[in-house]
Amino acid sequence: MDEKWLVGVDIGGTTIKMGFINQNGEFIYKWEIPSNIKEKGRHIPADIAKSIDQTLNKLGQEKQKLMGIGIGAPGPVNVGTGSVDVAINLGWENFPLRDLLEIETSLPVIVDNDANVAAIGEMWKGAGEGSKDLLCVTLGTGVGGGIIANGEIVHGINGAGGEIGHITSIVEGGMHCNCGKTGCIETIASATGIVRLMIEELSSTHTASKLRDFYDERQTLSSELVFEVANEGDELANKVIEKVALYLGLALSHLANGLNPEKIIIGGGVSKAGDALLVPLKNQFIRFAFPRVAQGVELAIATLGNDAGVMGGAWLVKKRLLSKHENVPLHL
């Protein structure tokens, strides 16, 4: 009998990324569709099911070819019921994603938080391949994260494990965060946080900067632009990056001191800065981490990019469904 395929799905506020993946972690086919947020996102399960059917038809395959669907969804997820507690960008609140999609597809469905699923993807086929103990931090519009201990995602008592972005970094006088607290690392190390810090420097000093014209002319600044001019020796941009590295390195050192991971993977759009971020981050991490912890960990940039969530979703299916019926190791 032909090997069955795994289906990975990564739901975002703008697009839904999907892929058919074989059991060795190789893409058979990948695609994406728009996220339909009309009527509080209630059409999304049907849209996913319809797109899967259309793609199977395109490839000349039957539904029986698929083993199941693994999904990364934004926001806190009740992994027991597969429901999403809240996903503001999609309009979801206590949304029974697993149940609705199982009805639409007649396939088993597994749901987890999108950052957790991306971490699993990096563990299986990305920068964390071969590691069972790792931290994965995604630096995008916000800051997400996944913690994997002995090959298992840490969910915690009510599914909030791995909320790395909401570690308090500025104890007093920090910026308000969308979570309701102030001073979270998300307000500093996210793409929006980096731009905010750059604007603060431009508005509070007269130091020369290649970005000053952008600020004065009210052009759009971006974190990519901050890193670009920093590489060219811009004093203010480098000051901002050092501040980001300081607070992020401190937060990661605290986590590492408690978990003693083998790898810390940095992903998300901000990670495209590469060594411009990684080098100062490593310096600050080593400064704050317990020496033995620092000796045992490798900091690396994620390698799967936008495929991490889809790959992680496929692994959820492989691990939790196939292992029930065949002699499949829990950790790869």
User: Could you give the C-alpha distances from 43 to 34, 36, 67, 131, in angstroms and in order?
Assistant: 11, 7, 23, 38
The pLDDT of residue 332 is: 46
Direct distance between the N- and C-terminal alpha carbons of the chain, in angstroms, rounded to an integer: 24
Give me 259's structure tokens.
């978990």
Distance separating alpha carbons of residues 285 and 276, to the nearest angstrom: 15
Give the chain's domains with CATH numbers. 5-120+306-324 (3.30.420.40), 131-303 (3.30.420.40)
The pLDDT of residue 331 is: 44
Q: pLDDT tens, 163-176? A: 999 999 999 999 99
Task: Determine how β-strand 263-267 pairs with β-strand 5-11.
Answer: unpaired
When pLDDT is cut at 50, 70 and 90, the band that residue 160 belongs to is confident
Q: pLDDT tens, 102-121? A: 999 999 999 999 999 999 99
Per-residue pLDDT, averaged over 263-281, amounts to: 95
Residue 291 has pLDDT above 60, yes or no: yes
Distance separating alpha carbons of residues 276 and 301, to the nearest angstrom: 11
Task: Determine how β-strand 298-301 pairs with β-strand 263-267.
Answer: parallel
When pLDDT is cut at 50, 70 and 90, the band that residue 280 belongs to is very high
The verdict on pTM exceeding 0.85 is yes
DSSP string, 55-72: HHHHHT--GGGEEEEEEE
Of 134, 14, 151, nearest in space to 74 by CA: 14
Least-confidence region, from 121-125, 127-131, 222-226, 319-323: 319-323
Q: pLDDT tens, 26-70? A: 999 999 999 999 999 999 999 999 999 999 999 999 999 999 999
